[in-house]
């Protein structure tokens, strides 16, 4: 049972480039989330999904897109990367019956220059 | 919306001493308050939580207290050990609205041996 896995661990992008951050969980959780973590700012919710085919915006969704075609996968897409998107990105998942107990992946550190 | 403030931002204690981290929240409708521990290079991990119908909860060396009237809650770690060194995040949520957690900015705890 690997839990929540994220790839890549690190990435450097140039301004205007695009990329997809991958997230997979093997706990059969219905709910999945994407957060960004900036120094001294805690975690901010970007997008979340309550099941395959259902996604919704969180607190800071601008500049990002998500999709949820399977229960296991929840990729985060950055289009036209900007320096403001330099951050550490965490994916998390939870059971629908206990959505507040979230299991986090190890994170992806993204730098946009 | 909910706003969670966390203090202090950094905390250094001697091994064996106690550590206390405090959080305040703004939305009186919040009724679930988890604490996460983030070790270096890893994602946050849920360590303890408390619901608004409980004033205190303990789990071995850690405890959480909640004052609903004052809208603040605290994490207490007794007999600190070097492995307690990490970043600690508090969060708040309304269980009726399920999955959205609002996080504090985090506290870096250093336990000196």
Rounded percentage of chain A residues whose pLDDT exceeds 90 = 88
Q: Which of A32, A10, A8 is nearest to A22 (CA)?
A: A8
Residue A82 · residue A13 · CB < 8 Å? no
Residue A102: list chain B partners with CB under 8 A.
Answer: 46, 99, 101
3-state secondary structure of A112: strand
Mind listing the pLDDT tens digit for each residue in B6-20?
999 999 999 999 999
pLDDT at A41: 81
CB A78 within 8 A of CB A61: no
Alpha carbon distance A34, A25 (integer Å): 13
CA distance readout (Å), B1 to A78, A98, B26, B29, B100: 26, 22, 8, 10, 11
pLDDT at B98 over 70: no
pLDDT of B96 > 90? The answer is: no
Q: What mean pLDDT is reported for chain A?
A: 94
Partners of residue A64 on adjacent β-strands? A78
State pLDDT tens for residues B79-95.
999 999 999 999 999 87
Q: Is A1's pLDDT higher than 90?
A: no
At residue A96, the pLDDT reads: 83
pLDDT at A99: 80
Q: Residues B24-76: pLDDT tens digits?
A: 999 999 999 999 999 998 999 999 999 988 899 999 999 999 999 999 999 99
Nearest Cα residue in chain A from B7: A40
User: Out of A31, A42, A100, whose CB is closest to B106?
Assistant: A42
Buried b (16+ CB within 10 A) or exposed e, B8-21: eeebebeeeeebbb
Does A45 contact chain B (CB < 8 Å)? yes
pLDDT for position A101: 87
Alpha helix ranges (H) inside A1-113: none
Residues contacting residue A17 through CB under 8 Å, at least 6 positions apart? A80, A81
- Residues of B with CB below 8 A from A107's CB? 41-43
Name every residue whose Cβ is closer than 8 Å to that of residue A39 and which is 6 or more positions away in sequence.
Answer: none
Whether residue B49 and residue A101 make contact (CB cut-off 8 A), yes or no, is yes
The predicted pLDDT at position B106 comes to 95
Between chains, do A42 and B95 touch, taking CB under 8 Å as contact? no
pLDDT for the residue B46 = 94
pLDDT tier, A7 (very low <50, low <70, confident <90, very high otherwise): very high
pLDDT in tens, A32-82: 999 999 987 889 999 999 999 999 999 999 999 999 999 999 999 998 999
CB contact under 8 A, A42 and B93: no
Q: Quick check: A104 and B43 CB within 8 A?
A: yes
Collect all residues with Cβ–Cβ distance below 8 Å to B76 and sequence separation of at least 6: B18, B19, B20, B62, B63, B64, B65
CB atoms near residue B44 (< 10 Å): 27
Cβ within 8 Å, pair A100-B42: no
> Which of A24, A29, A102, A106 is best to mutate for the B interface (most B CBs within 10 A)?
A102
CB B34 within 8 A of CB B86: no
B32 half-sphere exposure, CB direction, 13 A CA radius: 16
């Amino acid at each position: 049972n690997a839990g929540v896995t994220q790839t890549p661990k690190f990435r450097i992008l140039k301004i205007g480039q695009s990329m997809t951050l991958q997230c997979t969980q093997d706990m059969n959780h219905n709910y999945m989330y994407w957060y960004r973590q900036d120094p001294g700012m805690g975690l901010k919710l970007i997008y979340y999904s309550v099941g395959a085919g259902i996604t919704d915006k969180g607190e800071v969704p601008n500049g990002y897109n998500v999709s949820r075609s399977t229960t296991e996968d929840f990729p985060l897409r950055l289009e036209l990367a900007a320096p403001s998107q330099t951050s550490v990105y965490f994916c998390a998942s939870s059971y629908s019956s206990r959505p507040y107990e979230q299991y986090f992946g190890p994170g992806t550190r993204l730098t946009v220059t | 919306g909910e706003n969670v403030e966390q203090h202090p931002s950094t905390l250094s204690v001697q091994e064996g001493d106690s550590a206390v981290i405090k959080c305040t929240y703004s939305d009186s409708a919040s009724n679930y308050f988890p604490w996460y521990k983030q070790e270096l290079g890893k994602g946050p991990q849920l360590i303890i939580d408390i619901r608004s119908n409980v004033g205190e909860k303990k789990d071995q060396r850690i405890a959480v207290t909640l004052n609903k009237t004052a809208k603040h809650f605290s994490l207490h770690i007794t007999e600190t050990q070097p492995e307690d060194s990490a970043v600690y995040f508090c969060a708040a949520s309304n269980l009726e609205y399920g999955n959205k957690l609002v996080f504090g900015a985090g506290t870096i705890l250093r336990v000196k041996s």
